[in-house]
């Protein structure tokens, strides 16, 4: 396959030494990554809740659990977190609804997801793989990188 990275185990050249950023910059980067990880799962839930509401008219814990491959108690814990963050409204044994803030976050997540999928497919990644890869990338791509992806997509 053209463009595929090939690593030769017989290559005895020493590895290239990494260029370390300044400690403060590196620490800031790691803080940002940790913060992104904390909200990544919450964003996935909110995006799925929006998708369920838009496609079926409601979002139920059992449907969320089924689609995410988790248990309903796991969903219940996340629902409490999302409710505490002000992203959803939920009552026991009732459908789950997004607040204005939750809807805004879901739409931003969808937008990031779509841009990443379009970029990946534009550079030759299959649609199926692009959609799967975008699930992780969308949460860790900066606004600057997203803007560059969009500019690239406009240029082709």
In this structure, is residue 60 part of a structural domain? yes
In this structure, is residue 92 part of a structural domain? yes
Q: What tokens were used for 111?
A: 């937008």
In this structure, is residue 30 part of a structural domain? no
In this structure, is residue 7 part of a structural domain? no
In this structure, is residue 109 part of a structural domain? yes
User: Using 50, 70 and 90 to split pLDDT, how confident is the model at 1?
Assistant: very low
In this structure, is residue 84 part of a structural domain? yes
Q: HSE (CB half, 13 Å, CA atoms) of 136?
A: 4
What are phi and psi for residue 88, nearest 5 degrees?
Answer: -140, 165
Q: Which of 15, 43, 25, 27 is nearest to 138 (CA)?
A: 43
Model pTM above 0.85: no
Domains identified in the chain, total number: 1
CB 98 within 8 A of CB 50: yes
In this structure, is residue 133 part of a structural domain? yes
Look at the block and give the residue holding tokens 């909110």.
46
Note the pLDDT tens digit of each residue in 57-85: 999 999 999 999 999 999 999 999 999 99
In this structure, is residue 8 part of a structural domain? no
Q: What tokens were used for 86?
A: 């002000």
Average pLDDT, stretch 34-60? 91
Q: Which domain holds residue 69?
A: 38-155
Report the C-alpha gap between 73 and 103 in whole angstroms. Answer: 24
User: Using 50, 70 and 90 to split pLDDT, how confident is the model at 32?
Assistant: confident
- Domain of 47, CATH number, reads 1.10.10.10
Q: For residue 52, count other CB atoms closer than 10 A to its CB.
A: 18
């Amino acid at each position: 396959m053209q463009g595929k990275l090939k690593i030769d185990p017989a290559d005895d050249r020493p590895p290239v030494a990494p260029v370390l950023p300044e400690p403060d910059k590196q620490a800031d980067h790691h803080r940002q990554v940790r913060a992104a990880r904390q909200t990544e799962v919450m964003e996935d839930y909110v995006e799925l809740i929006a998708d369920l509401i838009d496609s079926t008219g409601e979002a139920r814990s059992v449907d969320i659990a089924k689609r995410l491959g988790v248990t309903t108690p796991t969903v219940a814990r996340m629902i409490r977190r999302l409710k505490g963050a002000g992203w959803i409204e939920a009552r026991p044994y009732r459908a789950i609804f997004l607040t204005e803030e939750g809807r805004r976050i879901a739409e931003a997540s969808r937008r990031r997801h779509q841009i990443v999928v379009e970029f990946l497919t534009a550079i030759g990644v299959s649609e199926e793989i692009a959609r799967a890869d975008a699930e992780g990338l969308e949460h860790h791509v900066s606004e600057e990188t997203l803007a560059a992806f969009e500019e690239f997509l406009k240029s082709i």
